[in-house]
Structure 1
Amino acid sequence: MSSILTNNSAMVALQTLKSVNSNLQKTQGEISTGKSVATARDNSAVWAISKVMESDVKGFKGIADSLSLGESTVAVARNAAETVTDLLTEIKGKVVAAQEENVDRAKIQTDIVALRDQISSVVNAAQFNGLNLVKGTDDVNILSSLERSGDGTVTAANITVARQDLTTTAGTYGNGDSLAGNITSSAASIDSTGAANDLELTFAGSATDNLVVTLNGTTFTQAFDTDAATTVGALRSQINQAGLTGIAAGGSGAVLELANTNSFDNFAVSWDSGSTNTVAVTNNGNSADDATAATGTGNATLVYRAEEVVLSNAAKVNEGDSYRITVNGNDYDYIAGKGENMADVARGLKTAIDNGAETGVSTRVVQDATTDEWKVLVDYDGSDATAGATMSLSDAGQEGGVASGGLFGLDNIDATTDAGADAALDNIETLIQNSIDSAAAFGSAEGRIETQSNFVSKLMDSLKAGIGTLVDADMEEASARLQALQVQQQLATQSLSIANQAPQNILALFR
């Protein structure tokens, strides 16, 4: 049936043409924009994903800038620490030269002061955009990544760079809770005569007994002479005439009193009277190892003259923990910095005492081979006429201080005297190690930042590629589809034209 009111063929042709035109418009849009998903209308899910990823790319561009800034800042600090290490090494050379007595120590000290001032200049100038990593103790966070969880939550990740304080500040002693339990002095005073740690051997032998005493491998043998007192007196003379450094044999009657006045060197002692229970032993201080009873034979250790300030190896060291050794009424403090331990505290206290003005006082830091505890050994040689034969010794500790600088003690290095040159040689090693540790820490941080920067660059490339896969148009396919749709458009237009001509054929029926 034909109708002049309803042209089904034209409607079909028109719908086909509309469909072709719509596809053609979409294809032309892909070609002009280069995207298959240009708006949320094209594919809302894919468009949403792509926009999230594009925001991440934008964020990572900012992170790349942050990493570049952080890397430059750390590089400046590393170069400063390396320069300080070189300058400290030069100071060490000057200090070594000052060990000789026939050199001009005043000129050497002038060179040391110039190098010290240069170190201060380097530390103060080592900033990048106002941030100096070799001053202070607060850590610095460098934005390194964005972490997106499955629920869409985004958190920032940081690379933490620890400041390495290379200043010479003394710090501020704390006023918080007591840390007295972490530091213990072996005595309340330092006796320059060594009497505090001497060993008394009381001989009660008979005519058949010889008395043999060995000191650090040197053996003294005395045959019984008249009585015990005469025998001990003769042995006493033998020991004193041998001229053993720092060893004095004293006492009276049948008592042989052995004292060690060496600052930091122990002496081994053994004895043999030839019979049982003929030597009574009296131990003063901590000089005896196993001489605990009257016996014919035995051995002990004559401990060095210096007194010990023992630091607990069970205690954790926190930033601001303040420790003090008081010698002759004068306080010498060290305040721990971030990440330090008892070894650092011991060396800091030694430096503080060495920088003081105590005549005849010398120090050494040792670690106990048995307990692993760190000890500051403090010795007094009796040369201070005002103090006399002994100097008082005490200790203290409190929380809540302001940390000493990593080069604490550098300002007080004095190579103009024998004692100063000796102390400087030991202390400069600590300062060099501190600067080396600082440079190494900055080097590790710089390497990590560089690695993260390279990763972020590659990550951005991967994200961009992923976004392209989601939304970019396949131009080869779009070109082929465009040509096909153009042909379809022409055919649809021709079909519509033919369909529109169909009612004209009805006119023929009325002619």
Structure 2
Amino acid sequence: MSSINTNIAAMTALQTLSQTNKDLLVTQNRVSTGLRVKDASDNAAYWSIATTMRSDNMAVSTVQDALGLGAATVEVAATALNSSIETVSKIHAKLVAAMAPGLDRHKIQTEIKELQAELRNTSQSAVFSGENWLQGNSDTGPDSKTIVASFSRDSSGTISIGTIEVDVGPGGTMMFDLGTSASAGGLLDKTHTLTNATAPNNEISIAGESTGLTIDWITDDPDDLLALKEMAEIVDKALRSMTDAATLLGAAKSRISLQKDFVSKLIDSIDVGIGQLVDADMNEESTRLQALQVRQQLGVQALGIANQSAQMILRLFQG
């Protein structure tokens, strides 16, 4: 039945063209953004997962930055500590050499004094981003430094942050202690008591400002040489403790390096996972775009043909 009130063919052609235009708009958006899930209306579940994973990836990226900062701080501390070990080794060698009879121990003392000053300068200079792990204050603490190492989220949505702890207290990497309590003292400024009664000052430290290591009073007297031997033993013990501290930093440096590599790979893996959920297949979308463009052109032509039916009815009434 032909009707001038209801053009069924035109209505059908218009609906088909409207749907084609909608599909074409969706495909064009995917091609322009590279995403098949851009917002929650595209796919609520995938969009929610991708949004959460993007947030987590930003957090992991921040962890990567924190590891880089921690690695730099450890590197500065390790470099200064290794230099200090070499300097203390020289002091130890000077003390051993001073045990030989007939040496000018005043000149040796002058060399030791310069080496002690070098130790203090090295410790003061071991600073990165305001952090000095060789010099601290045991009165105020803390005795450990924390490096953010990981970020994770479990199935319930609870997040956890992993850390690497480095002992920077008197039993760790602290060479000089700025504290004033009776128990204060780092590896190099800790006060030691000589048991030899002939020493003019039985309270000594390896490189402390107030109780330094002095040997210019020592003679070839056997008791004096025993005091010198005791000094050498104190320095040797401190040298072993410094080696342990260097090992501690080396282990932390190695762990940070491993964690940095893992975090870098984790960021890439999360990016790939997000892409699997929301990225558009550009080969597929380009093919669909061309097909929809052809359908759109055919739809426009079909609508034009359907609208001409009313013109054909008018001709029936023409004489």
2:86 matched residue in structure 1 = 86
8 A Cα contact 2:73 2:128, kept in partner: yes
2:213 matched residue in structure 1 = 413
* Cα distance in 2, alignment partners of residues 117 and 478 from structure 1: 71
* Cα distance in 1, alignment partners of residues 244 and 73 from structure 2: 18
* Cα distance in 1, alignment partners of residues 263 and 13 from structure 2: 55
Cα distance change, pair 119–73 in 1 and its aligned pair in 2 (3 A): same
1:353 matched residue in structure 2 = 193
Cα distance change, pair 63–133 in 1 and its aligned pair in 2 (3 A): same
1:149 shift after superposition? 1.7
Cα distance change, pair 410–81 in 1 and its aligned pair in 2 (3 A): farther
Measured against aligned partners, the alpha-carbon deviations of 1:181-226 in whole angstroms (never above 9, x if no partner) come to xxxxxxxxxxxxxxxxxxxxxxxxxxxxxxxxxxxxxxxxxxxxxx
1:251 matched residue in structure 2 = none
8 A Cα contact 2:135 2:177, kept in partner: no
Structure 2 residue matching 1:165: 3-state secondary structure: coil
Measured against aligned partners, the alpha-carbon deviations of 1:270-311 in whole angstroms (never above 9, x if no partner) come to xxxxxxxxxxxxxxxxxxxxxxxxxxxxxxxxxxxxxxxxxx
1:506 matched residue in structure 2 = 313
* Cα distance in 2, alignment partners of residues 477 and 48 from structure 1: 24
Aligned with 2:175 (options 147, 166, 173): 166
* Cα distance in 2, alignment partners of residues 406 and 20 from structure 1: 86
8 A Cα contact 1:352 1:409, kept in partner: no
1:131 shift after superposition? 0.8
Cα distance change, pair 17–170 in 1 and its aligned pair in 2 (3 A): closer
**1:333-352 equivalences in 2 (<5 Å):** 352=192
2:221 matched residue in structure 1 = none
* Cα distance in 1, alignment partners of residues 134 and 317 from structure 2: 107
8 A Cα contact 2:120 2:207, kept in partner: no
Aligned amino acid, residue 132 of structure 2: N
8 A Cα contact 1:165 1:406, kept in partner: no
8 A Cα contact 2:146 2:165, kept in partner: yes
Aligned amino acid, residue 500 of structure 1: N
1:156 matched residue in structure 2 = 161
1:171 shift after superposition? 6.3
1:479 shift after superposition? 0.9
1:30 matched residue in structure 2 = 30
Measured against aligned partners, the alpha-carbon deviations of 1:227-248 in whole angstroms (never above 9, x if no partner) come to xxxxxxxxxxxxxxxxxxxxxx
1:82 shift after superposition? 0.5
Aligned amino acid, residue 5 of structure 1: N
8 A Cα contact 2:206 2:212, kept in partner: no
Match status 1:466 vs 2:306? no
**1:398-477 equivalences in 2 (<5 Å):** 411-415=211-215, 416=218, 417-477=224-284
1:335 shift after superposition? 6.6
Aligned amino acid, residue 145 of structure 1: S
* Cα distance in 1, alignment partners of residues 179 and 31 from structure 2: 71
* Cα distance in 2, alignment partners of residues 107 and 336 from structure 1: 28
8 A Cα contact 2:77 2:126, kept in partner: yes
1:168 shift after superposition? 6.5
Worse-superposed segment, 408-417 or 28-37: 408-417
* Cα distance in 2, alignment partners of residues 161 and 490 from structure 1: 70
1:27 shift after superposition? 0.8
8 A Cα contact 2:75 2:253, kept in partner: yes
Worse-superposed segment, 431-440 or 468-477: 468-477
8 A Cα contact 2:67 2:148, kept in partner: yes
Which runs of 5 or more residues in structure 1 are unaligned? 174-333, 338-343, 361-404
Cα distance change, pair 96–442 in 1 and its aligned pair in 2 (3 A): same
Cα distance change, pair 77–67 in 1 and its aligned pair in 2 (3 A): same
1:160 shift after superposition? 1.4
8 A Cα contact 1:96 1:425, kept in partner: yes
Task: Let me know the Cα RMSD of the aligned residues.
Answer: 2.9
8 A Cα contact 1:116 1:410, kept in partner: no
* Cα distance in 2, alignment partners of residues 510 and 77 from structure 1: 102
1:20 matched residue in structure 2 = 20
Structure 1 residue matching 2:135: 3-state secondary structure: coil
**1:46-445 equivalences in 2 (<5 Å):** 46-136=46-136, 138-163=143-168, 164-167=173-176, 172-173=181-182, 352-354=192-194, 358-359=197-198, 411-415=211-215, 416=218, 417-445=224-252
Q: Which has the higher contact order (CA 8 A, sep 6+)?
A: 2
* Cα distance in 2, alignment partners of residues 411 and 438 from structure 1: 23
Cα distance change, pair 73–113 in 1 and its aligned pair in 2 (3 A): same
Higher helix share: 2
Structure 2 residue matching 1:161: 3-state secondary structure: strand
Cα distance change, pair 410–450 in 1 and its aligned pair in 2 (3 A): farther
1:153 shift after superposition? 2.2
Structure (1 or 2) with the larger CA radius of gyration = 1
* Cα distance in 2, alignment partners of residues 15 and 424 from structure 1: 99
TM-score by length of 1: 0.54
Cα distance change, pair 31–168 in 1 and its aligned pair in 2 (3 A): closer
8 A Cα contact 1:84 1:122, kept in partner: yes
8 A Cα contact 2:119 2:207, kept in partner: no
Higher strand share: 1
* Cα distance in 1, alignment partners of residues 2 and 307 from structure 2: 13
Count of aligned positions: 298
Structure 2 residue matching 1:101: 3-state secondary structure: coil
Structure 2 residue matching 1:463: 3-state secondary structure: helix
Structure 2 residue matching 1:503: 3-state secondary structure: helix
* Cα distance in 1, alignment partners of residues 83 and 12 from structure 2: 86
Aligned with 2:287 (options 480, 484, 492): 480
1:409 shift after superposition? 11
